[in-house]
Amino acid sequence: MGDRDGDLLILTSQEVLSLLNGCEKELINIVSRAYQTHEQGKSSLPHSTFLRFPDDPRNRIIALPAYLGSDFEIAGVKWIASFPENLKNGLERASGALILSSPLTGRPQALLEGSVVSAKRSAASAVLAAQTLQGRRRAELIGIVGCGLISLETVRFLLVGCPETRSLVIHDIDGSRAQLFKAKCHSLSAEIEVEIAPTFEAVLSRCSLVLFATTAIRPYVTDLSGCPPGSTILHISLRDLSPEALILCDNVVDDIDHVCRAQTSLHLAEQLVGNREFIRGTLAAVMRGAVLPKNNNESITVFSPFGLGVLDIAVGKLVMDLANAQGRGTVIKTFSPASLAE
């Protein structure tokens, strides 16, 4: 569609899924490029806005506006809801929409179902961090705390981006969800071994690469001393680790200013110590060698990504371009504003 004046491309979740099928390597590369473009200052990224509801701390809807320049040249906003109680009613926890706009005219170009893009960019970011932060260490045994969609997508991306993955140790506070997750992992790869652990502590003690992707709203992991030396923790859900535990780790984030807000574990750690010196730097800075290696190879590295809107619009642009090239989706003609002078 490009900048075809006034046209709006609409893509459903199934259409987005179909267009991104088998694109794991490309998505990891796009997320890497998006991080680097943002690190270079070729972006605009206002703080995300959290819409919360009175007397309902678990549910929220977040607006993430962003512009990404360089070879992306796209603007947009993701409107993403997280309603954990939906799961009890047979509904997906997350739902949302992604609007992409032309940075030349400001007019909307595409409306995409947003939860698929969100899940895949989160998984690509986690695997990129695993590739970057583990160095020469490779983890055949991977731990997972929280057996939801983000974790499942991360497994899908790990099988491509970290092909040494052989076994998973998983835990969820809901045992039936863990059992279902195990079956879904086997549908991704018949060769992968999956063991259900009774506690998150059992996952931490056995695995040198651990993913946290839960719906926790306050920290509950207070001690990481049981982790194998040199472990890497992908702290995707941001609120699992206590600030006391976090400040003892080697901390890498996606954006320091963004992640130290909204009562994330890092925000709580900043409030505890009064500074942000416990954060080594950003993943993009580590990738380009702009920050020094961690001082102690035995220390635990924690990657805490706030989840930047630039990733959503970068992946969304790929989806839009693929859809236009393949003639997919529904195009609404003349979606441009009417002239009030007529």
Distance of CA 305 to the CA centre of its chain: 7
| Residue-averaged pLDDT of the chain | 93
- Does the pLDDT value for residue 85 go beyond 60? yes
Q: What is the pTM of this model?
A: 0.93
pLDDT in tens, 220-275: 999 999 999 999 999 999 999 999 999 999 999 999 999 999 999 999 999 999 99
* Domains defined along the chain, listed by start: 8-117+309-332 (3.30.1780.10), 136-304 (3.40.50.720)
Long-range interactions of 75-78: CB distance < 8 A, separation 24+: 75/100, 75/101, 75/102, 75/103, 75/106, 75/313, 76/100, 76/101, 76/309, 76/312, 76/313, 76/316, 77/309, 78/114, 78/117, 78/118, 78/309, 78/312, 78/313
Mean pLDDT for the stretch of residues 174-202: 97
pLDDT in tens, 5-20: 679 999 999 999 999 9
Q: Are strands 8-11 and 330-332 parallel, antiparallel or unpaired?
A: antiparallel
Q: How many CB atoms lie within 10 A of CB 290?
A: 11
- Please give the pLDDT value at position 154: 98
- Please give the pLDDT value at position 3: 45
Mean pLDDT for the stretch of residues 289-295: 77
Give 139's pLDDT tier (boundaries 50, 70, 90).
confident
